[in-house]
Chain A
Amino acid sequence: MTLNAYLILSTLLFCIGLIGVLKRKNVLMLFFSTEIMLNAVNVGLAAISKFHGDLSGQMFAFFIIAVAASEVAIGLGLLILWYKRTGSINLDDIARMKG
């Protein structure tokens, strides 16, 4: 397979994640879409790493995975706290920022 095939796949996956971020109002779904976008970028980085014979792409993919893991831990903690306080996981309720 060519580099372009992998990059087109990466773009498609990124667009799916982006559609989720733009369309969904459920904060849990927003987190899922963010994971999809991060994974799409990882595929692109691994593909470039192979076709240029350079390991930097894989290194960055590892750090992206670490960032995704910590993002989930903090995000879910905040969301659980918000849900206990208001009983809602709708994005519009959070956008109001009323304690």
Chain B
Amino acid sequence: MFEIVAFCLFSVLTITMFSITVLTNNALYALSSLAAGMIFISAFFFLLNADFLGAVQIVVYTGAIMALYAFGMMFFDSLSEVKEKVKNPRLVFLLSGMVALIVVVIFISPILGENISANLPVNPSYGNTVDVGLVLFTKYLVPFELAAIMLLVAMIGGIVLAGKKMEVSYSDMTEEEIDAHIQAENEIENAKKDVK
């Protein structure tokens, strides 16, 4: 009974939050409703006895990814309107048709996969976190290390890409120096555009 009530409540909440994310024009509303939806998603993981996955979901998505988006949005004029007009409606019709096909395949797939035996069975005596750790560090050790290298590469790549033109620190300069610096940079930009 409790599970049914929780499932219905959280599915309604998640779908509402994600619909707001997709349909709103305000990037800040989209960001906050996405963060809320991520937390509600973690409720499903707790319902499904995947406690560790639920905790990771909260820590990684609302802690790391949302903070990254929030910092990233400081670089953009995030409240500016972006023209949302689909130029090629035929392509959208084609893609929607393919989506419908995929939905049909998803709905019949539980019927197709009925006699599957568990490859890595769950041990209820251990608890979820111990169980996940045992499997992750034996059978999935190589993918785990590869994921670690991938995250390191992504971190360095992000720093290199976003950190360009950041060698001067505005907080160490006086106001006149900042004005002079911005003017000099604009002149360089204009000169580049003239060359093109």
- Chain A interface (Cβ within 8 Å of chain B)? 1, 3-9, 11-13, 15-20, 22-26, 28-29, 31-33, 35-36, 39, 42-43, 46-47, 49-50, 52-56, 58-59, 61-63, 65-74, 76-81, 83-84, 87, 89-90, 92
Contact = CB atoms under 8 A, between A and B. Distances in A.
Given A11-B107, A80-B76, 15 more contacts: A7-B110, A15-B99, A17-B18, A23-B22, A32-B30, A43-B44, A47-B44, A54-B121, A55-B132, A55-B135, A58-B50, A70-B154, A73-B155, A76-B158, A83-B76
Interface of B: 3-4, 7, 11, 14-15, 18-19, 21-22, 27, 30-31, 34, 37-38, 41, 44-45, 47-50, 52-53, 56-57, 60-61, 64-65, 68-69, 72-73, 75-78, 82-87, 92, 95-96, 99, 103, 106-107, 109-110, 116, 118-122, 131-132, 135-136, 140, 143, 147, 150-151, 153-155, 157-162, 164-165
Given A9-B11, A77-B160, A22 B92 contact: yes
B3 A1 contact: yes
Contact of A62 (B22, B119, B136, B164): B136
Contacts of A28: 27, 30, 69, 73, 76, 78
A4 B113 CA distance: 13
Main secondary structure on B side of the interface with A: helix
